[in-house]
């Protein structure tokens, strides 16, 4: 199985790459349309800034969304999962809008800890 790890420019992409390869997949890190088109699965890694990650995905955004909506499996890790929504409190950019809604922060727990 060919798995594209979207190169959002942050996070430990090579640890993810190694883990997926040890599980037997043909994983690769890329942001090219050609690689996206050939992928059987997609991973949007975690860590980073909402707006910066979306900017990095700009050149594959439309095809990425179309591919996922047509049934290609996608795993979003942390920030990668947030990108799937319409918006996030962590940024001002429009998310990928695969899911409806806005990612919001948990309310502070300090009032419960006293």
- Could you tell me the sign of the dihedral formed by the alpha carbons of 13, 18, 23, 26, in that order? positive
Q: pLDDT tens-digit profile of 70-92? A: 999 999 999 999 999 999 999 99
User: The tokens of 68 are what?
Assistant: 């996922």
Mean of the pLDDT values across residues 25-54? Answer: 95
Q: pLDDT tens-digit profile of 9-36? A: 877 899 999 999 999 999 999 999 999 9
Q: Please tell me the predicted confidence (pLDDT) of residue 12.
A: 84
Q: pLDDT tens-digit profile of 96-108? A: 999 999 999 887 7
76, 82 contact by CB (below 8 A):
yes
82, 114 contact by CB (below 8 A):
no
Q: Which of 30, 95, 113, 112 is nearest to 104 (CA)?
A: 95
Using the structure block, give the residue that is written with the tokens 């975690």.
46
**Of the CATH numbers 3.20.20.60, 3.40.50.2000, 2.60.120.260, 3.40.50.880, which one belongs to the domain with range 2-112?**
3.40.50.880
Q: Please tell me the predicted confidence (pLDDT) of residue 52.
A: 94
The residue ranges of every structural domain in the chain are: 2-112
**pTM, full prediction:** 0.89
């Amino acid at each position: 199985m060919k798995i594209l790890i979207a190169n959002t420019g942050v996070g430990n992409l090579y640890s993810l790459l190694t883990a997926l390869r040890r599980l037997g997949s043909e994983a690769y890190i890329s942001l090219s349309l050609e690689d996206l088109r050939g992928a059987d699965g997609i991973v949007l890694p975690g860590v980073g800034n909402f707006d910066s990650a979306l900017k990095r995905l700009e050149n594959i955004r439309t095809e990425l969304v179309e591919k996922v909506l047509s049934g290609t499996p996608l795993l979003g890790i942390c920030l990668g999962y947030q990108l799937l929504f319409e918006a996030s409190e962590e940024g001002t950019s429009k998310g990928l809008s695969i899911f409806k809604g806005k990612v919001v922060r948990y309310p502070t727990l300090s009032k419960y800890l006293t």
